[in-house]
Amino acid sequence: MGRDQWDAAPSRRTPWGAIALVMLTGLALMRNGVDASAGPPQPAAAASVAGPRDTAAAAPVADEPVQPLPYAPASRVQIPSIEVDAPLVDVNLDPAGWIEAPPAQDPNLAGWYQNGIAPGQRGTAVVVGHVDNLAGPAVFYGLGSLKKGKQIEVARYDDRVAVFEVYGVEVFPKDDFPGPRVYGDTGYAELRVITCGGGYSKADGYDGNVVVFARLVETR
């Protein structure tokens, strides 16, 4: 997609809730993890989202914390507390209906699901990236160590920045991934950042996905 010709109200957008419920049950991310005894950090129990487990997760808020932004493509993601500063590339769905991962050769690269919600727009935007590649740790290696209250910044091609605050970090099994809970529309401008996690084996790779839940708290 040409970055100088993006449509402020693209007609190609499909209702995200329908995609989440019908097509997405997990992420086909890197399956060749680093062969190390420790592995990437995993979310602590204290970081889990408080609330119903069978519906779209939502942190309790009295009112919408900040006015959402209009649509604009995302260009970069920064998570200062875990030293993430990476460009974003567009990713789509693969033939099986799973979100594609960005190319694994570049360890400092993340992907934004461009046919969903733009970061800062009302709805649930999705950013994905590898935890590692064959050479070692990759962009979201430290994602499981992220704490509640930390911030994620997403720069956009309209020169705006959407700032999100983390309210939960969890790991879910790939074979029982709660799509509606992760991808569902909470009524707010939200962000999910997702990578591989859980247990690892050479035969099958990682058996889960680490998911960060965050809500828009500032724009600039």
What backbone phi and psi angles, to 5 degrees, belong to 180?
A: -60, -35
SS3 21: helix
Say which range, 44-48, 88-92, 93-97, has the weakest mean pLDDT. 44-48
Reduced to 3 states (helix: H, G, I; strand: E, B; else coil), residue 46 is helix
The pLDDT value given to residue 59: 54
**pLDDT for 93-135, tens place per residue?**
888 777 888 999 999 999 999 999 999 999 999 999 999 998 9
Pairing of strands 27-28, 189-201: unpaired
The encoded tokens of residue 160 equal 């705006």
The pLDDT of residue 47: 76
For residue range 11-42, list pLDDT tens digits in order. Answer: 344 444 434 433 333 444 444 444 444 689 88
Higher-confidence residue of 134 and 45: namely 134
First to last CA, the chain: 24
Cβ atoms within 10 Å, residue 76: 16
Q: Tell me the pLDDT band of 9, cut-offs 50, 70 and 90.
A: very low
For tokens 């989202």, the residue is: 49
Looking up tokens 């074979």, which residue turns up? Answer: 175
Mean pLDDT throughout 34-54? Answer: 67
How does pLDDT run across 201-220, given as a tens digit for each residue?
Answer: 888 889 899 999 999 999 99
| pLDDT for residue 38 | 67
Q: What is the pLDDT of residues 175-191, one digit of tens each?
A: 899 989 999 999 999 99
Rounded to 5°, angle at Cα 121 from 154 and 68: 100
Task: Classify 19 in phi/psi space as left (phi over 0), alpha (psi -120 to 50) or beta.
Answer: alpha
pLDDT at 44: 80
Does position 5 have pLDDT exceeding 90, yes or no? no
pLDDT digits (tens, 9 = 90+) for 137-169: 999 999 999 999 999 999 999 999 999 999 999
Domain boundaries, the chain: 16-59+83-219
Provide CATH code, domain 16-59+83-219: 2.40.260.10
